[in-house]
């Protein structure tokens, strides 16, 4: 059994165990990459469905992505707010 050069880590370095979120995200990325690779394999959700059903599935996927983007933006805003408050607290301590 040979290992691909990209999978080999330098000696003494251990691979971190991925969180559940990271594993599911990696699965999704692989699924999308496989779907985009041009292979004749169809997405399981859209296989054997009428165009209207496939459109509904796509619409559902789009809504999921939009919700995820919204959550990510909310997290970024919360982080920025937290940093702003930390800076204000630092400034008041210095005065």
Return all residues near 69 (Cβ < 8 A) that are at least 6 apart.
Answer: none
Q: Residue 1's pLDDT is what?
A: 44
Secondary structure of the chain: what % helix, strand, coil (to 5)?
65, 0, 35
Give the pair of three-digit tokens for residue 67. 């919700």
What tens-digit pLDDT sequence spans the chain (95 residues)? 455 555 666 676 666 677 778 888 888 888 887 776 655 555 555 555 566 666 777 888 888 899 999 999 999 999 999 999 999 999 999 88
Q: Residue 85's pLDDT is what?
A: 94
Q: Residue 73's pLDDT is what?
A: 93
Q: Residue 57's pLDDT is what?
A: 77
């Amino acid at each position: 059994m040979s290992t691909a050069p990209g999978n080999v880590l330098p000696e003494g370095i251990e691979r971190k165990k991925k969180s559940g979120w990271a594993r599911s995200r990696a699965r999704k990325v692989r699924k999308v990459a496989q779907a985009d690779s041009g292979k004749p394999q169809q997405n399981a959700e859209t296989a054997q469905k009428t165009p209207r059903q496939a459109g509904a599935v796509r619409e559902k996927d789009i809504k999921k992505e939009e919700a995820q983007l919204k959550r990510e933006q909310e997290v970024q805003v919360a982080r920025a707010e937290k940093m702003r408050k930390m800076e204000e607290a630092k400034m008041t301590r210095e005065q």
